[in-house]
Amino acid sequence: MRQPTRRAFATGSLLLTMSAAGGAWAQTTTNTDALSIGSATAPIHLVEYASMSCPHCAHFHSENWAQLKANYIDSGRVRLTMQEMLTEPAVAAFAMFQLARCGNVDGAEYFRRMGILFDRQRALMATGTVGALLESLVATGGEWGLTLEQIMASLNDAGGEARISRSIAVATAAGVNSTPTFFVNGQRAPDDFVTPAGMVRTLDAALAR
C-alpha cells in the first residue's frame, strides 16, 4: 500500500498570533532543547522530526507508538529524541508543543502528553478558530492539573521561539524537509519506517549490527 505524502514543514520567520480571554500572544517559528525518552545507554538512538499538526505524524503514533515504546524503548534498546517541527497550521503545532512542555516536564511526561495530543489531533484541528483551539488546549491542560496561568505563560514563553528555530536549523542541516522523518544512529531511516513492519525491520537490523 502506498504511503501518503509526508507533510512539508514551515521554515523561515513565521508570525504566530493567538488571542484568548485574559491575554494574547505572538510568536515566530520556535524550538526548545530536544527531549528524549529511553535509556541513555541504549544501543540505538532514534531521532524523530515531527509536527503536532501533521496528520502523518499522528498516524505514525497511532500505528507504531505502542510497539515502539513497549518493545524497544521500555526494553532499553532505543532512546528516542523528538525534534520539533512546525507544519500548517503552524499556530496549532506551536501551541501543542508548548502545552506538552508546560511546567518543565521530563521526557516521559512530554511524550505521554504528546501521545494524547496526537490522539486528539483531528478534533483539535476541527475546532475551526484559534480561540476555539485555545479553549480545547486549556481544557486538555486542565486534565493534567495545569492552570490557565501556567498554560498562558507557556504559550507566551519567548524561549519557545529560539527552541523551534534551533530544531528547524538542525533539520535543514540534516536535509530534512518533511514530517515525519527518522534517523537511526545518525542514518536516515527508509521511507517505510513509518509502517510497523518497516520500523521493526529497520530497528532489528540496527540492533543486529
Instruction: Summarize pLDDT for 137-185 with one digit per residue, the tens.
Output: 999 999 999 999 999 999 988 888 788 889 999 999 999 999 999 999 9
Instruction: Summarize pLDDT for 119-131 with one digit per residue, the tens.
Output: 999 999 998 899 9
3-state secondary structure of 13: coil
The ranges assigned to domains in the chain are 16-208
- Which residue in the block uniquely carries the three cell numbers 503552524? 90
Nearest-angstrom CA–CA distance, 208 and 171: 27
For the domain bounded by 16-208, which CATH number is listed? 3.40.30.10
Nearest-angstrom CA–CA distance, 64 and 71: 11
Nearest-angstrom CA–CA distance, 119 and 123: 9
Instruction: Summarize pLDDT for 23-32 with one digit per residue, the tens.
Output: 322 222 233 4
* pLDDT at residue number 7: 55
